[in-house]
A = this chain, B = another copy of it.
C-alpha cells in the first residue's frame, strides 16, 4: 500500500494493515490459529487468490506473520501470526465491539457466515458468573461448522469445532444466537424465532443470566 507519509502512530499502522483484506486475514489467524493457504481462502469468501498471496507476502515482510513448513503428515506450509501480529488483537477487538450494533439488523441477503466469527461478540457479551462451578461446554450450531463456548474458572472462550461433552447445544441462525447473547431476545423469544436446544437450557444462565 502506498504510505500516508505521516509521522503518526495511527498512520504508520494503517500503512501496514490498512489495505483491503489485511485485517481480515489477521482475524482468521487470530481466531483459528495457523492455517493453510486454502483454509484462508475458504475462510475469506470473495478474496481473489492472487490478492491473498500478495497480502500474505506483504504481511510476512512486515513481520506480522510467518510461513512455516508443517511437519508430516500435513506436509504443507502454514501461515501463523508472529507475536507482533498477535498484538493486533486489541485493534480487532475494538473494531468488533464497534461493529456489533450493525449485526442487530441481521445478515444481508448475500452475506457469508462462518461460525467462529461469533468469537468477538461472544467475548463481548458472555462472562462466567459462577467461576467455582465445574467447566461447562456450550455447543453452538449457527453455520456450517459448530463452535464450542468453553466456560471455566471465570473465563469464557470460544473454540472452533464441536464440544466433546456439551452441557447445552444451541442451534439457530446466527442472528438469533446473537440476539440471545446481546440481550435483544430471551430464551422464549429465541425459541419463537427458531432456536432449538438440547441439554439443560438453564445452563445458559451461567454466562447470560438475563436470557433465562
Contacts and interface: CB of A to CB of B under 8 A. Distances in A.
Contacts of A102: 9, 12-13, 16
A9 B100 contact: yes
Interface string A43-67: 0011000000000000000000000
A111 interface: yes
A155 to B, nearest CB: 20
Contacts of A167: none
A6 B23 CA distance: 13
Interface of A is mostly: helix
Contact of A103 (B9, B16, B23): B9
6 contacts: A5-B108, A6-B45, A7-B107, A9-B97, A11-B117, A12-B102
Please give me the 6 A-B residue pairs with the lowest Cβ-Cβ distance, nearest first. Answer: A9-B99, A13-B99, A7-B107, A8-B117, A7-B111, A12-B102
